[in-house]
Amino acid sequence: MTWEEARAAAGPRSVAILPVGAIEAHGPHLPLETDVIIAQAMARAGAERLAARGMSVVVLPALPFTTARFAETFAGTLSLQPATATALVADLAAGLARHGFAIVAIANAHLDPAHLASLERAAGDIRRELGLPVAFPNLTLKPWAPRLSEEFRSGACHAGQFETSIVLAERPELVRDGIRAALPPNPASLSRAIRDGKQSFEEAGGSRAYFGYPAQATAEEGRATVETLGAILEEAVQAELGAASEAR
């Protein structure tokens, strides 16, 4: 977009979608940018649904760097301090508010607990300091998590069937498919490990930085999951706008 096109896109029924991922290890079969690819797919699917509702939608360039503590010992992983990630998202929102966008939506595909906390803090800061509505559906929580796959709900889903299926649908040329097909299942639950106080993929039982069932992934599942993620983002935007309207 040019700056004049961006100016025209802002207004009372405008939404700016920020895809947020990470550069971190995703097993021996997926690229470091896996979470970025998933976030972009979620943003695109959500944007299509919101545009069909008559909203003016822009999708920002993806934010690829954030806190990635669980994977930071694996080569290629780049991790920010949580406060840096919070400040970065809040600063971006300040610019969007200044230029007249009505709501910010965060399409997030990175589930490191420190990262999720940094986004929650950013959303709170943006609402409080800017008065700008923020739609941030945290996929690990209700009502969103129950709508995703059984593997996702089990917590054994980093670079497993859930994420690998989406990359197969979106960027199949980036999947090391021969390696993927030979990977044994790793049913260790990251969410359970986090509750037990584990601090890394290794401690959680993921010595090769994957959890779940990557060999069972399919592009068909990936396409269906992207549609679900788009619907979640659309519904989160509508809910946030409704809450902001009631508050006024």
Which CATH number characterizes residue 144's domain? 3.40.50.10310
- In whole angstroms, give the CA distance from residue 49 to residue 55: 9
Q: What's the pLDDT at 142?
A: 95
C-beta separation of 31 from 24 below 8 A: no
Degrees (nearest 5) of the Cα angle 146, 38, 52? 80
Domain encompassing residue 136? 3-247
Report how many domains make up the chain.
Answer: 1
- pLDDT the model gives residue 247: 64
> Contacts from 168-173 at CB under 8 Å and sequence distance 24+?
168/217, 168/218, 168/219, 168/222, 169/41, 169/219, 169/220, 169/221, 169/222, 169/223, 169/225, 169/226, 170/37, 170/38, 170/40, 170/41, 170/222, 170/226, 171/31, 171/37, 172/219
Quick: pLDDT tens for 63-96.
Answer: 999 999 999 999 999 999 999 999 999 999 999 9
Residue 121 has pLDDT above 70, yes or no: yes
Helix and strand numbers, DSSP H then E, in the chain: 10, 4
Residue 154 has a CB neighbour count (10 Å cut-off) of 19
- The pLDDT value recorded for residue 243 is 78
Tell me the per-residue pLDDT of 201-245, one tens digit each, with 9 for 90 and over: 999 999 999 999 999 999 999 999 999 999 999 999 999 998 766
**Amino acid 246: pLDDT:** 66
List, in order, residues 6 or more apart from 37 with CB less than 8 Å away. 21, 31, 166, 167, 170, 171, 174
pTM of this prediction? 0.96
